[in-house]
Amino acid sequence: MRRIVITGMGAICALGHDAPSTWKAMTEGRSGIGPIHHIKPGELRNGGIAAEISDYDPANFFDEARRAMLDPFSEYALIAANEAIRQSGISFAGESAARTAVVIGTGVGGETTRDGMYERLYGEHQGRFHPLSIVRLMTNAAASQVSMVHGITGPAFVVATACASSNHAFAQAAMMIRAGLVDAAVVGGTEACITLGTLRAWEAMRVLSPDTCRPFSAGRRGLVLGEGAGMYVLETLESAQARGANILCELVGTGMSSDAGDIAAPSEIGAAAAMNLALRDGGLSPEDVDYINAHGTGTVANDSTETRAIHRVFGAHARELVVSSTKPMHGHALGAAGALELIGAVGAIRDGIVPPTLNYLGPDPACDLDYVPNEARAMKVDVAISNSFAFGGLNAVVAVRRAP
């Protein structure tokens, strides 16, 4: 089997405009959650908080002609992909262009464009739209833009499985590399979901927190949405070593499952199945895992269900694991969540620091693991897994380990 390594990593989110600043904020326990600036006070009923990207001007990244074609979700994907490709040093010249894939996860796609169109149509009663509206809002736009900017002519597509989209994208890219269809992939997730329409829809589900996100904690009240992108360069170990690339870590296994149950309620059996499959795919035993970057949304049902699933998979070793959720820092970025959270898993392996679960008030009887409360922890991490569980009962887990 072809071994797969990560040689580049990029990000933009509420914690920073690149991967190093995002990881630094995680280790320092800084939160990007705060009041939403571009929505008028009173338009939201549930406190109006999110993890927005601050100090962001697309003109600093794109010329006017390119900006006309981009919804923010594509802007974020390009910014993160450009960073990952620069760090990797990979070239797409010659045959490499056709031997590279682009796979990007997103939950809602061009929601900013769509929301603006509907406000113009139904609020302002004006029917004329920007002529590039469709190419901005279409869900595949981010993958198409990355492929065009970098001249990548291999497979390029989007995976849309709600909050599991990024991890499903990693799995699809890994399978293509292992099968020999491609030798490398630019892969990750992106989301720009902080719009009035999206937030009002989430409010209607009654799962948004009115104050902050506190996963696995007593007194948790719900999730907080975030935005941004995380992108990575995956390639074969052989190619990375041949060109002397700096290997960040090895992507060793992926696992996917479907609950085939409730459209919204999580299932410990489905979540456990995905974790077990990721371990089996990576040739790992439960005792090999040191750290779990949890899905950890901060809702009562999700956190208790994920805790039971971890017990089901890891047995007695669950008491030795450290588990944390970085969502109190970068928010729940839906289709980009897994891509942002993988920064925490890769960073833990490379720097020996496990990011904390912020805002932890105390134990909940239904959540009885070591959640690294409130402060990062220095410890050696050789193997980590990252969990993503989505509405629709769709589960995807990624396992990474120290670079060979």
pLDDT exceeds cutoff 80 at 233 = yes
Predicted confidence band at 47 (pLDDT cuts at 50, 70, 90)? low
pTM, full prediction: 0.97
The confidence score (pLDDT) of residue 42 equals 81
Q: Stretch 108-116: mean pLDDT, rounded?
A: 96
What H or E segment, with its residue span, contains residue 80? Answer: helix 72-88
CATH code of 253-401, in short, is 3.40.47.10
pLDDT in tens, 351-370: 999 999 999 999 999 999 99
Q: How far apart are CA 62 and CA 68, in angstroms?
A: 10
Could you tell me how many helices (H) and strands (E) the chain has, helices first? Answer: 13, 14
- The catalytic site residues sit at 163, 295, 332
Share the mean pLDDT of the chain: 97
The confidence score (pLDDT) of residue 24 equals 98
Rounded to a whole number of angstroms, the CA Rg of the chain reads: 20
Q: Where exactly does CATH 3.40.47.10 map onto the chain?
A: 4-242, 253-401
pLDDT exceeds cutoff 80 at 28 = yes
In this structure, whether the domain defined by 4-242 belongs to CATH 3.40.47.10 is answered with: yes
Q: Stretch 19-45: mean pLDDT, rounded?
A: 93
The confidence score (pLDDT) of residue 181 equals 98
Predicted confidence band at 1 (pLDDT cuts at 50, 70, 90)? confident
pLDDT in tens, 251-306: 999 999 999 999 999 999 999 999 999 999 999 999 999 999 999 999 999 999 99
Distance of CA 240 to CAs 99, 102, 139, Å?
14, 18, 31
